[in-house]
Chain A
Amino acid sequence: MPDRAESLPLRGLASALGRGRTALLRATNLQVLAGLAALWLVFSLWQPGTFSTGGNTLNIARQGSVLVVVALAQMFALLIGGFDISVGANMGFSSVVASRMMIEHGGIAVGVVAGLAVGALIGLVNGLLIGPLRVSPFAATLGMLTFLLGLGNVLSNGQSVGGLPSSFGLVGGADWDHIPSGVVLALAAVGLSWLILNRSRLGLYVYGIGGSRSAARLVGVRVYAYEVAAYVLCGLFASFAGIMLAARLSVGQTESGAGYELLSIAAAVIGGTAIGGGIGRISGVVLGALFIQVLTNGLDVVGIGVYVQGMVTGIVIVLAGVVGLMRNPDFFVRLRALVPSALTSRGHLRGRRWLGSTSHES
């Protein structure tokens, strides 16, 4: 396999993309950071005694570490041009497998390895379905999600798996000398994904395939193999998040990951990862996850009614999406064109040259 020959054009492609993208994405990170700072300010002023305390900050860190890891998992799937709505079920299923192995076959290490292996296997199946077999990511991961919920409940007899060894808490629940272990593990996950995405050929190809699948294939990249790899990584990180969650809760439960599939996509998207692939930075994903966590924690701490919390969260999610669009200069052109077209019922875009002027029946 002519290694060098196939990598050169792709490298060129990637670096060309990279140059243009870096400036854009740095802007994204700044925006999310600004949003995060704004949230922090608002909540701190609202409830000075309770929100910005050391204890509450630690809480946010503990709660957020799981979300960061599963958002990283989702990022791999998003980067390659798909997504994975089975990550929540993956988390729960892995926690059940890890817990049972831990209790029945002696040892935390055995349990953790089993849980991770199962997560990678789930990712492998997803990847094979979506890559070579061309099943849409939605159908494949929805099927997987449903299947895992069923099998997870079978393995756990529909109950939560308790009675875990107390030292298991160190894998994400308890503190290592005042630092929440979850934070350390999340940082390790961030470091690992950085290495994969920025210092390995796999990362290069993942971005390339996400950017343009057909171009990547033309250049000779074995697209299927890397698609599968991306989903395996997604499954692996998701199961890691599930094990961390089990450590925090001291219990393995099939439903414990419920809600994380949508939250992880939201965190990644807010952080600048594009649905459709090719764009996304780890720093953005981490910031996006923190943003969601601070929002949830803050709304809770300041005592906003639970229903209003939901409404505010919904609006904030959409606003974050709109703000994300403002990064693109075309956006304002579109908006300006939208208004007159709504008034005059014509669909032209002003300010753009199209194939001559066309008239059509309104």
Chain B
Amino acid sequence: MARIDVARVIAPARTDRAPRRPVAGSGLRLLPALIVLCLVFGLRYPSAFPTVGNLQSMAQVGGVLLAVTLGQGFALLVGGFDLSVAANMGFVGVAGGDVMVHHGLAAGIAVGIAAGVVIGLVNGLLIAGVGVSPFVVTLGMLTFLKAFGNQIAHGAPIFGFPSSAQYLGHTGWGPIPAPIAIGAILVAAMWIVLGLLRAGTYIYGIGGNREACRAAGVPVVRYEVLAYVLCATLASVAGLMELSRVSIGYVSNGTGDDLLSIAAAVIGGVAIGGGTGSIFGVVLGVAVLTVLTTGLTIAGIGEFYQDMVSGTVIVLSVLVSRVRAGVLREVIGVRGRERFGDGLSHRGVTTTSGREP
């Protein structure tokens, strides 16, 4: 029985995309944007922005977003997405927090992570196994988790964590804020998964062309489920970090991070539709969003104007990266190569439509 080299089968199917590079590549385009933002805020507010204190506080906020966005990156890479990550964080804040208060730090962490694994399994099996669209599954999961979390908490806050819990997000590990330290460990771990382990190859492949992978014998369902499990587990870790940072367990912990994590990933070059993206891009995307929101707050810009600026920046950063991808030529009308697939993955259930947005 001939053994088919999966990588060689996958590669020709992805002619419309650059070969993956787990470190550099698509995310690198964001670096100038980040540098510009830092310069603008640093020069305008020299006593407030470019300080060690600010770096630490940005690292604290950004570390949590980084964990969620890493997870979201996995869901995006296999061609889907996960809208339930914010509800996941809140749920872990309540359920994991409650266990932590009554049974100690280790038990709380264990329950939190276990919750993430279960959530990821349910999501993954429904999306990859049964074939329901990620939108429907994660919307249902998010609605369910919010309600279930409230049911457990009955509106009351979860508080009174053991003092060791502060090292999850509130206190620093030495001079380094806990969330960024944990974030760095997660980044390294995920880099190993994506770059060095077979699972990484498969995840990129499934996002690139699911049918080709299945034809090559890749256990597609299993690795897609793995991607969603990683996504939900990372979100749960983020939830644990957030409950420590905020010193309270509320169902509302993590509000907004569902859309923010997708935005950060997309800005960082992870394509919706799957197959493209890098860890480095994710880190840069998170950095850009964190620097932007911190800078705007330091500048004292009102909340409404902050929203307008954030919205514009999201669109502009994607535009800028698209322009460099050759869209400029296409729009101006120069005949380019016909682009089949349009960068969207093809799902296997129906053979005609069914592209993920």
Q: Which A residues lie at the B interface, using CB under 8 A?
A: 17, 81-83, 129, 132-140, 142-151, 153-154, 158, 210-214, 217-218, 262, 265-266, 269, 274-279, 306-311, 313-318, 320-322, 324-325, 328, 330-331, 334-335, 338, 341, 345-349, 354-360, 362
Residues of A near B356 (CB, < 8 A) are 275-276
The listed residue (B131, B140, B216) touching A334 by CB distance below 8 A is: B131
B322 is contacted by which of A83, A135, A151 (Cβ under 8 Å)?
A: A135
Residues of B within 8 A of A325 (CB): 130-132, 349
Chain B residues within an 8 Å CB radius of A313: 143, 147
Q: Which of A148, A311, A335 contacts B144 (CB 8 A)?
A: A311
Pairwise interchain contact A320-B136, C-beta atoms closer than 8 A: yes
11 additional contacts (CB under 8 A) given A310-B147, A314-B147, A359-B3? A81-B355, A143-B312, A211-B353, A212-B352, A214-B340, A262-B139, A276-B354, A278-B352, A310-B143, A316-B140, A347-B217
Q: Are A314 and B144 in contact (CB under 8 A)?
A: yes
With a CB–CB cut-off of 8 A, which chain B residues contact A309? 147
Given A140-B315, A317-B140, A347-B219, the answer on whether A147 and B304 have CB atoms closer than 8 Å is: no
Cα(A139)–Cα(B319), bound, Å: 10
Pick the contact of A211 from B142, B273, B304, B352 — CB < 8 Å?
B352
Residue of A nearest to B354 (CB): A276
Q: Given the complex, which residues of B lie within 8 Å of A269, measured CB to CB?
A: 133, 135-136
Give the docked Cα–Cα distance between A299 and B133 (Å).
25
Given contacts A309-B147, A359-B1, A359-B217, contact A158 B304 (CB under 8 A): yes
Residues on the A chain within 8 Å of B130, using CB: 322, 325, 331, 334-335, 338
Q: Across the interface, do A279 and B357 meet the contact criterion of CB distance under 8 Å?
A: no
The smallest beta-carbon distance between B132 and chain A, in angstroms, is: 4
CA of A338 to CA of B124 in the docked complex: distance in angstroms? 13
Measured between beta carbons, the chain B residues less than 8 angstroms from A356 are 2
Give the residues from 296 to 335 in chain B that come closer than 8 angstroms, CB to CB, to chain A: 303-315, 318-319, 322, 327, 330-331
Q: What residues of A have a CB within 8 angstroms of the CB of B4 in the complex?
A: 358, 360
Per-residue interface assignment for chain B, residues 136 to 164, with 1 indicating a CB less than 8 Å from any chain A CB and 0 otherwise: 11011111111110110000000000000
Known: A307-B150, A309-B147, A341-B221. A347 touches B214 (CB 8 A): yes
Identify 19 residue pairs between A and B in the complex whose beta-carbon atoms are under 8 Å apart, listed by A's number. Answer: A134-B327, A135-B319, A139-B318, A142-B311, A212-B352, A217-B338, A262-B83, A269-B136, A314-B140, A314-B147, A317-B143, A318-B132, A330-B350, A334-B129, A345-B219, A347-B220, A355-B215, A359-B217, A360-B217
A265–B319 Cα distance when bound, in Å, is 25
A309 vs B315: C-alpha distance in the bound complex, in angstroms?
A: 36
Which DSSP category, helix, strand, loop or mixed, fits chain A's interface? helix
- Distance in angstroms from B67 CB to nearest chain A CB is 20
**Least CB distance, B225 to chain A, in whole angstroms:** 10
Chain B, residue nearest A319 (CB): B140
- Could you tell me if B353 and A139 are in contact, using CB atoms closer than 8 angstroms? no
Select which of B147, B266, B342 is within 8 A of A138 by beta carbon. Answer: B266
- The smallest C-beta distance from A51 to any residue of chain B, in angstroms, reads 22
Of A142, A315, A334, which contacts B349 at CB under 8 A?
A: A334
Please give, as numbers and ranges, the residues of chain B lying within 8 Å of A278 by CB-CB distance: 352-353
Question: Which of these, B131, B146, B314, contacts A146 with CB under 8 Å?
Answer: B314
Q: Is the CB of B353 within 8 A of A210?
A: yes
| B114 beta carbon closer than 8 Å to chain A | no
**Which of A275, A311, A317 is in CB contact (< 8 Å) with B357?**
A275
Q: How far is the CA of A146 from the CA of B344 in the complex (A)?
A: 25
Contacts A81-B355, A308-B151; A318 near B137 (Cβ below 8 A): yes
Contact of A358 (CB < 8 Å), options: B216, B338, B340 = B216
Instruction: Please state if A136 and B318 are interface contacts (CB–CB under 8 Å).
Output: yes
Structural contact, A145 and B311, CB atoms closer than 8 A: yes
CB-based contact B353/A146 at 8 Å: no
Give the residues in chain B near A158, CB-CB below 8 Å.
304
Report chain A residues within 8 Å CB of B142: 314
Among A82, A318, A346, contact of B141 (Cβ-Cβ < 8 Å): A318
Among B139, B327, B357: residue with most chain A CB under 10 A: B357
Q: Please give the distance in Å from B135's CB to the nearest CB on chain A.
A: 6
A83 and B139 CA atoms in complex are apart in Å by 15
A98 to chain B, nearest CB (A): 19
Q: Which residues of A contact B131 (CB under 8 A)?
A: 325, 331, 334
Q: Does A150 contact B308, Cβ atoms closer than 8 Å? A: yes
CB–CB B315/A129 < 8 A: yes
- The docked-state distance in angstroms from the alpha carbon of A134 to that of B137 is 27
B219 close to A146 (CB less than 8 A): no
Contact partners of A347 in chain B: CB under 8 A: 214, 217-222
Query: Is B310 in contact with A311, judged by CB distance below 8 angstroms?
Result: no
Which residues of chain A come closer than 8 Å to B133, judged between CB atoms?
269, 275, 321
Residues of A within 8 A of B83 (CB): 262
Q: Provide the residues of chain B in CB contact with A147, threshold 8 Å.
A: 307-308, 310-312
Tell me if A307 and B148 are in contact (CB < 8 A).
yes
Kindly report which residue of chain A lies nearest to residue B142, judged by CB atoms: A314
> Smallest distance from the beta carbon of B300 to chain A beta carbons, Å?
16
Task: Kindly list chain A residues whose C-beta atoms are within 8 Å of the C-beta of B307.
Answer: 146-147, 149-151, 153
Decide: B357 and A133 in contact? CB cutoff 8 A.
Answer: no
The answer to whether A274 touches B354 (Cβ under 8 A) is yes
* Chain B residue contacts of A153, Cβ below 8 A: 303-304, 307
Q: Which of B24-49 contact A (CB under 8 A)?
A: none
Q: Closest CB of chain B to A362's CB: distance in Å?
A: 8
Q: Which of A318, A328, A349, A355 has the most CB of B within 10 A?
A: A318
Known pairs A347-B214, A347-B217, A347-B219; A307 contacts B151 (CB<8 A): yes
Q: Which residues of B contact A218 (CB under 8 A)?
A: 338
Please pick, from A135, A321, A335, A355, the residue contacting B315 in the complex, using a CB distance under 8 A.
A135
Distance (whole angstroms) from the CB of A212 to the closest CB of chain B: 7
Docked Cα-Cα span, A213 to B340, in Å, equals 9
| Complex A-B, nearest 3 residue pairs according to Cβ-Cβ distance, in ascending order | A310-B147, A150-B307, A347-B219
Give A345 to B313 CA distance when docked, in angstroms: 45
CB-nearest residue of chain B to A334: B131
A154 vs chain B, min Cβ distance (A): 5
Per the 8 Å Cβ criterion, residues 246-291 of B in contact with A are 259, 262-263, 266-267, 271-273
Q: Kindly state the separation between the CA atoms of A139 and B130 in the bound complex, as whole angstroms.
A: 28
Which residue on B lies nearest to A155, using beta carbons? B304
CA distance A265 to B62 in the complex (A): 31
